Amino acid sequence: MGTGERPVAVVTGANRGIGYAVAERLVREGHEVVLVSRDRDRGETARASLDASGQGEGRVRLVVGDLSSIRAIRETAVALTAACPRIDVLVHNAGMWPYERVLNEDGLEQSYVTNHLAPFLLNLELEPLLLASNARVVQVSAGLYVKGVAHPDRTPEGLHFHPLRTYADTKLCNLMMVPLFAERWKGTGVTIDAVHPGVIRTGLGDRTGPLGAVLKASKVLWKKPAKGARPVVALALATDGGTGRYFHLEKEQPLAPVAADRDLAQRLWDRTARTCDVS
């Protein structure tokens, strides 16, 4: 960076919850922050709130970006490239917990696209900016990945969809890409780590009906988003050069056997690359 130039951080799903809390902390740490939000009004509200807090000081920008389809993800990457002269930190925070099987315009199960395919494709589409800045990439993961099943031919279309387990399936797929991206970027200066931020009180998984009522009641005891932002920001600011790691809160942990199958990870990578039509 040039003299006086601030590092630039991009945070997806930043209009509320952990994403907003991460953006708030990074602004406080001196970064320019680009909020990625699918909803323009909510994103603008978040941007204005950060400015009004006295932390932003005009250093917070909004990119309206939809991560629900391959076309939309590419459009978001184009918008980010236009908005960002550099990217020093990329935080993949956007995610969803589906309660029913919904196929998007690509014929893919929606949470598979948002939780797994979107970070994968954004990493590749934004790679020139990441490489130019020796960027830190942080993937917000979920400890529930240990309950997941990653099937290259069934998970993309949600063929074994379950309203509780599919979230774990898609987060597992996403986590298995982290060591492969670390290998891809070895020696380039770009690093990537994943982190489970804890069980946090956000809108993730909210739904109606009896199950929704139970979930809402249980969330009263969960930790606030600011608590979940801590380990995410710690990795975003890390300077130890580590990469390809998984953290439970702020403690590094080896991947559970379900996520450590290198052959399966490569099959998932190849399937995702074909789906996105990338080499």
Give pTM, 2 decimals.
Answer: 0.91
Distance of alpha carbon 100 from alpha carbon 164, whole angstroms: 10
Flag whether pLDDT at 3 surpasses 50: no
Distance of alpha carbon 143 from alpha carbon 247, whole angstroms: 9
Q: Would you name the residues annotated as active-site residues?
A: 167
pLDDT band at 202 (very low <50, low <70, confident <90, very high): low
pLDDT band at 170 (very low <50, low <70, confident <90, very high): very high
pLDDT of residue 133: 97
Contact at 8 Å (CB) between 195 and 246? Answer: yes
Write the pLDDT tens digit of every residue in 131-161: 999 999 999 999 999 999 999 999 999 999 9
Phi and psi (nearest 5°) for 252? -70, 135
Write the pLDDT tens digit of every residue in 86-118: 999 999 999 999 999 999 999 999 999 999 999
Contact at 8 Å (CB) between 27 and 19? Answer: no
* Domain 8-276 class, CATH top level: alpha beta
